[in-house]
């Protein structure tokens, strides 16, 4: 039972354009959501988070949007840069503790 | 170093052998987590330590898996009688209470 789903295994975006990564969840008890970025042979690196009391959180080029009624969140990266090429994982938790992860989306930024 | 460290970085073992994986969390972090990532899949929660509380073992896939943590420092994940399906990257993370988890580089385990 996949409680956190990332339905796009891969995404290619031109450098300078906007990258939009999507994530859906099924567990209504989740109230904290995070995005992690992972390069090959490294552990995941925390990128940005959002709690359920908000619908948007912004940090530089990265913005996360949360639609609780649709149980959907998205990560926007603008403008996209070659260094953004990585696998992005969406994660969720009912309280900030153990995380349930999606299967990841491989983002490739085309120079 | 300031980050989470794990050892060994790679481990190749034969089916049926026991393995021990080590995690050194960030100093001062009270919470420690183990996850694993099998090929082509997301991260799968295994076990969670928080201070002196009883660990949350709900993610351990079988009784061949166990983990210990000494106080608020090092943790060891032990897999007994390894099977080929145990092959994965085992990731450790630590956090201050109720804050973001920071991951180590992982241990790549291959069971032949």
A82-96 pLDDT, tens per residue? 999 999 999 999 876
Q: Does residue A54 or residue B98 have the better pLDDT?
A: A54
Average pLDDT over residues B73-81: 96
What is the C-alpha separation between B32 and B99, in angstroms, rounded? 12
Tell me if B32 sits within 8 A of B75, measured CB to CB: yes
Report the pLDDT value the prediction gives residue B18, as an integer from 0 to 100.
98
Report the pLDDT value the prediction gives residue B97, as an integer from 0 to 100.
65
Q: Which positions in chain A touch B33 (Cβ < 8 Å)?
A: 98-99
Q: How far is B26 from chain A (nearest CA, A)?
A: 14
Q: Which residue of B has its CA nearest to A105?
A: B42
Using the predicted structure, report yes or no on whether residue B98 has a pLDDT greater than 80: no
Q: Which residue of A has its CA nearest to B43?
A: A101
Number of Cβ pairs < 8 A linking chain A and chain B: 55
For residue A101, give the nearest of B43, B48, B104 by CB distance. Answer: B43
Residues of A with CB under 8 A from a CB of B: 4, 6, 34, 36, 41-46, 49, 89, 91, 95-104
Digit-coded pLDDT (tens) for A20-72 = 999 999 999 998 999 999 998 889 999 999 999 999 999 999 999 999 999 99
Query: The tokens of B25 are what?
Result: 């969390």
Q: Is B20 strand, coil or helix?
A: strand
Average pLDDT over residues A7-32: 96
How many Cα atoms within 13 Å fall on the side-chain side of residue B110?
5
- B65 secondary structure, DSSP code: E
* Angle (nearest 5°) at CA B85 between B11 and A26: 115
For residue A98, give the nearest of B56, B100, B104 by CB distance. Answer: B56
Sequence-ordered list of residues with C-beta below 8 angstroms from that of A91, at least 6 positions apart, any chain: A4, A33, A34, A35, A36, A99, A100, A101, A102, B43
Is the preceding peptide bond at A79 cis, omega within 30 degrees of 0?
yes
How many Cα atoms within 13 Å fall on the side-chain side of residue B90?
31
Report the pLDDT value the prediction gives residue B57, as an integer from 0 to 100.
93
């Amino acid at each position: 039972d996949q409680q956190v789903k990332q339905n796009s295994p891969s995404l290619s975006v031109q450098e300078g354009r906007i990258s939009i990564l999507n994530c859906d969840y099924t567990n209504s008890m989740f109230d904290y959501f995070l995005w992690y970025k992972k390069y090959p042979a490294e552990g995941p690196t925390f990128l940005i988070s959002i709690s359920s009391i908000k619908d948007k959180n912004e940090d530089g080029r990265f913005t996360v949007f949360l639609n609780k009624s649709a149980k959907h969140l998205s990560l926007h990266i603008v403008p996209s840069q070659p260094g953004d090429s990585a696998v992005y994982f969406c994660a969720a938790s009912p309280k900030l503790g153990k995380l349930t992860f999606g299967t990841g989306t491989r983002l490739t930024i085309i120079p | 170093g300031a980050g989470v460290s794990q050892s060994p970085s790679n481990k190749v073992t034969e089916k049926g052998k026991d393995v021990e994986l080590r995690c050194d969390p960030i100093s001062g972090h009270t919470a420690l987590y183990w996850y694993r990532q099998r090929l082509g899949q997301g991260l799968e929660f295994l076990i969670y330590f928080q201070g002196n509380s009883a660990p949350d073992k709900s993610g351990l896939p079988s009784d061949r898996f166990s983990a210990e943590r000494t106080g608020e420092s090092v943790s060891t994940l032990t897999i007994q009688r390894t099977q080929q399906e145990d092959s994965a990257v085992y990731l450790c993370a630590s956090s201050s209470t109720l804050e973001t988890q920071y991951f180590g580089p992982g241990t790549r385990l291959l069971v032949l």
